[in-house]
């Protein structure tokens, strides 16, 4: 029998024949795990005497027992979900989390990596938005381990960091959906083109030809950007019949403003966002969105960083990808019911 004083979450995962993320889901009673798998994991936990406290005690002594989390903007509704997942996972292992907002600014992202030791932490989880050209170089020079939550960017092997992201381009799911339900005049509402640029590329690549009048680039990823986008599209001689919003906050701003303008959703315009944040289910109508698996991605990014801290190793960096999922709600579902393609 494994000595309880040395039991780790990796011991549980190995004995149960699953990954550490699956063990974490079972412990936290999270979705995405079958009852049979969960039962097997809990049985193993009981057999070998694992507990989060025991796991924390088994960690090699670190200088601070703190890690940093750098995110673009805490005001974006998906970020608290990600931050909560990081914090709870870290807490299980006896770590605290220092949170930093980068404002999606290239200089801030570089400074955080370069000056990370000044925060008195043992490692960094970063969710880049600007992706400055020298970010990889700065990460590779860092004396502390880095884990990347990656959305909207193809990152190569040159990054000496564990990277967790998505297996498929989330924007393609939006465009496939809107084209499938018969929408032909599809608009794009986004932030600056160089931010999460692959979401715009998915729009561009899904159409034979882009009508520049149907593209709106705002200043950021906020509700206000969505409001301004709605006003812009409403003022066109021919309004779009669908809008692909770069994220849910922009989508919510569009839907709310269109309601004020008496534009019917989805009868006149279908709207789909990305993130699947909680606010999409309390709007009227509820908004279709692509889930970027924020909770799961954040939890695994944290687990990988903590594992690297425990083992005090470098090299053999992980590249893990989750499958994004389209969640169809009222902002486009009634169109699907009437579509001849279904």
| Residue 67: pLDDT over 80 | yes
Of the candidates 289, 290, 237, 235, the one whose C-alpha atom is nearest the C-alpha of residue 257 is 235
Place of tokens 């944290």: 302
Range 123-129 average pLDDT? 96
Q: Which residue has the tokens 């009981």?
A: 46
Instruction: From 77, 83, 102, 106, select the one nearest 274 (Cα to Cα).
Output: 77
Q: What is the mean pLDDT of the chain?
A: 88
What letters, b where the CB count within 10 A reaches 16 and e where it falls short, cover 228-250? bbbebbbeeeebbbbbbbbbbbb
Which domains does the chain show, CATH number per domain?
A: 4-51 (1.10.260.40), 55-167+295-322 (3.40.50.2300), 170-291+327-338 (3.40.50.2300)
Q: How far apart are CA 326 and CA 319, in angstroms?
A: 23
Closest CA to 221 of 193, 240, 198: 193
pLDDT, one tens digit per residue, over 277-301 is 999 999 999 999 999 999 999 999 9
**Confidence (pTM):** 0.77
Checking if the pLDDT of 31 tops 70, the result is no
- In the prediction, which pLDDT does 84 show? 97
- The string of DSSP codes covering 52-100 is HHHHHHHSPP-SSSEEEEEES-TTSTHHHHHHHHHHHHHHHTT-EEEEE
pLDDT band at 223 (very low <50, low <70, confident <90, very high): very high
Separation between Cα atoms, residue 156 and residue 159, nearest integer Å: 6
Whether 120 shows a pLDDT value over 70: the answer reads yes
- Kindly state the tokens that stand for 190: 């986004």
């Amino acid at each position: 029998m494994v000595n309880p004083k040395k039991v780790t979450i990796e011991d549980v995962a190995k004995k149960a024949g699953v990954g550490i993320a699956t063990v974490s889901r079972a412990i936290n009673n999270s979705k995405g795990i079958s009852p049979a798998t969960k039962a097997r994991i809990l049985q193993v936990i009981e057999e070998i005497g694992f507990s989060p406290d025991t796991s924390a005690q088994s960690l090699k002594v670190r200088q601070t027992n703190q890690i940093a989390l750098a995110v673009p903007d805490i005001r974006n509704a998906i970020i608290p979900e990600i931050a909560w997942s990081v914090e709870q996972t870290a807490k299980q292992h006896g770590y605290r989390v220092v949170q930093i907002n980068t404002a999606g600014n290239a200089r801030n992202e570089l400074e955080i990596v370069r000056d990370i030791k000044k925060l008195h932490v043992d490692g960094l989880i970063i969710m880049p938005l600007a992706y400055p050209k020298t970010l990889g170089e700065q990460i590779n020079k860092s004396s502390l381990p880095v884990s990347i939550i990656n959305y909207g960017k193809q990152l190569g092997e040159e990054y000496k960091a564990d990277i967790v992201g998505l297996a498929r381009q989330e924007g393609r799911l939006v465009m496939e959906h809107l084209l499938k339900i018969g929408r032909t005049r599809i608009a794009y509402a986004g932030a600056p083109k160089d931010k999460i640029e692959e979401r715009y590329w998915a729009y561009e690549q899904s159409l034979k030809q882009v009508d520049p009048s149907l593209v709106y680039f705002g200043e950021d990823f906020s509700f206000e950007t969505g409001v301004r986008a709605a006003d812009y599209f409403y003022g066109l001689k021919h309004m779009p019949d669908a809008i692909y919003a770069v994220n849910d906050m922009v989508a919510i701003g569009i839907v709310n403003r269109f309601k004020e303008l008496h534009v019917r959703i989805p009868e006149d315009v279908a709207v789909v966002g990305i993130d699947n944040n909680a606010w999409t289910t309390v709007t009227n109508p509820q908004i279709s969105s692509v889930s970027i698996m924020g909770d799961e991605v954040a939890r695994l990014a944290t687990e990988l960083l903590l594992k690297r801290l425990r083992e005090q190793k470098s090299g053999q960096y992980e590249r893990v990808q989750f499958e994004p999922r389209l969640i169809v709600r009222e902002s486009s579902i009634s169109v699907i019911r009437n579509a001849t393609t279904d």
